[in-house]
Amino acid sequence: METKKSIDWFERYPEITILLILVPILIIIVFACEEYFAYYNRKSLINADYHYRFIRLKESPPLMSYYLCPSKKDLEVSDNLQPKRYLFRTDRNGFIIPSEKHQNPDIVIVFLGGSTTECFFNEEENRFPYKADCLLEQELGKKINSYNAATSGNNSMHSLFVLMSKVLPLKPKAVVMMHNINDLIILLNAYCLCSNKYDIINLNN
């Protein structure tokens, strides 16, 4: 009797029955695919405590560590650049190391800019945002953490996104932005386009 009722219900409502069977199966398949691709993406990343971004930032990748050698062209245009390897590292938030000397600092300062603030071809302790940190500590007698959030080629627009998304949560006492060169090039390019002059300037920064 129960079998007959089941058959009667299926015959009377075939579309609903199929939906009730297919929808859970599709949900399970989608969930399984999401888990698989999430696992695959995690494997393809550096094995690190990576923070997922929900805004695209022009920044140095978090937890990066590698040596960079100046090219022949870099050496030709520099007065005292040494032909050697320079270590470049970032912390878990993409700030250039050294970035956080003190657990509970009295003052936090963040530097934003392009290559002139990034200071690629300098020893870590000689990059000027960190040097400024050390000099201010000596002068003020306070614990200061400086964060270098510069990236080669960045202009003010890039740094404003970085400022709003990962700098403000640090509650900095001061933020230093240095974008004169890159902003000037952007404005010159905009002028060329608006005045129908198409000699676009390369941003070799």
Tens digits of pLDDT across the chain (205 residues): 445 555 566 677 777 777 788 888 889 998 888 888 777 665 554 444 555 667 788 898 888 898 989 888 888 888 888 889 999 999 999 999 998 889 899 999 999 999 999 998 999 999 999 999 999 999 999 999 999 999 999 999 999 999 999 999 999 999 999 988 888 888 888 777 776 655 545 544 4
H-run or E-run covering 191: helix 180-194
Residues 93 and 31 in one domain: no
Residues 76 and 155 in one domain: yes
Residue 130 lies in a domain: yes
Residue 146 lies in a domain: yes
* CA distances (Å), origin 180, targets 50, 109, 187, 195: 32, 20, 11, 22
Residues 167 and 87 in one domain: yes
pLDDT, residue 203, reads: 47
Q: How far apart are CA 34 and CA 83, in angstroms?
A: 47
Residues 137 and 178 in one domain: yes
Asked whether 74 and 49 are in contact (CB, 8 A), the reply is no
pLDDT, residue 117, reads: 93
Residues 127 and 188 in one domain: yes
Residues 38 and 69 in one domain: no
Residues 36 and 134 in one domain: no
Residues 17 and 70 in one domain: no
Residue 165 lies in a domain: yes
Residues 19 and 112 in one domain: no
* CA distances (Å), origin 77, targets 17, 86, 109, 123: 75, 18, 31, 19
Residue 52 lies in a domain: no
Residue 103 lies in a domain: yes
Q: How far apart are CA 120 and CA 109, in angstroms?
A: 20
Residue 7, classed as helix, strand or coil, is helix
Residues 177 and 109 in one domain: yes
pLDDT, residue 53, reads: 63
Number of domains forming the structure of the chain? 2
pLDDT, residue 52, reads: 62
Range of the domain at 129: 65-194
Measured from the Cβ of residue 109, the count of other Cβ atoms closer than 10 Å reads: 20
Q: How far apart are CA 72 and CA 34, in angstroms?
A: 46
Residue 15 lies in a domain: yes
Asked whether 200 and 189 are in contact (CB, 8 A), the reply is yes
Residues 69 and 98 in one domain: yes
Non-local CB neighbours of 186 within 8 Å, separated by 6+ positions: 155, 203
Residue 202 lies in a domain: no
Residue 14 lies in a domain: yes
Residues 17 and 101 in one domain: no
